[in-house]
Copies of this chain bind each other. A is one copy, B any other.
Amino acid sequence: MKVRVVTPIVTEGITEAADFQPSARPDVLVSHTQIETGPASIESEFDEAYAIPDTIIKIVQAEREGVDAVVIDCMGDPAMNAGREATSMLVLGPAQTGMHLAALLAQSFSIVTVLDAVVPLLENLAKEYGLESKLRSVRSVDIPVLELEDHERLMRALADESVKAIEEDGAHAILFGCTGMRGCAEGLRVALARRGYPGIPVIDPVIAAFKIAEALVDLELTPSKRTYPTPREKEIVGYSIDVARIPG
């Protein structure tokens, strides 16, 4: 089985295939690619708009290369719907997958994300995915994506906001609101237990989406073509994507 992680920002060195290898099953080959045109990071619908065109191209290429599933490496789920239209393959976004897992494991959940600027975007995704009644709040650590590498600052802020989500908003699980927080789940779970909140699931959405991808490929389940029909053939000026070559 081949799973491709697509990072929809141009900044290199944040994500690579090796980050997923420890989580992958022995029979799963992980590959990674990232976009060449688009933003340095995604912190608004504006940024996301410039990430999507090349992300779609990377998803279409993945299918042509025989990949079984693509996992998008951003909590805005950029290009997920369009990528599902343009392929017949499994395409998963961490926001959609992570919200469903949070709702599967807890009565309610909160998202802790990077900046207040993306709160409406995440709230709207919850509505689109039908999970707004389980989402208690979207809180932010107030740290831009490209400064998340200050691990100590991040962990302290994640714990502070998670405790508020639990105490003030009634969250029973925590979902990271940025895939740049990858790898912090176990640390946050321990931190929450120390602060008096044991047994709170903490979901690292891009890793979770990767593992769910493995399971769904085994199940031979792909997105509904009634929801995501193949785009009609037409001219797209200025982009190197050829709709005519997408199998209908």
Contacts and interface: CB of A to CB of B under 8 A. Distances in A.
Interface in A175-190: 186
A244 interface: no
Contacts of A225: 198-200
B224 A173 contact: yes
A218 B52 contact: no
Given A44-B85, A48-B82, A173-B224, A96 B104 contact: yes
Given A201-B223, A211-B215, A237 B100 contact: no
Interface of A: 10, 23, 25-27, 36-41, 43-50, 52-54, 56, 79, 81-82, 85-86, 88, 92, 96-97, 100-101, 103-108, 116-117, 120-121, 123-124, 127-134, 144, 166, 172-173, 186, 197-201, 203-204, 207-208, 211-212, 214-216, 218-229, 231-232, 234-239, 241, 243
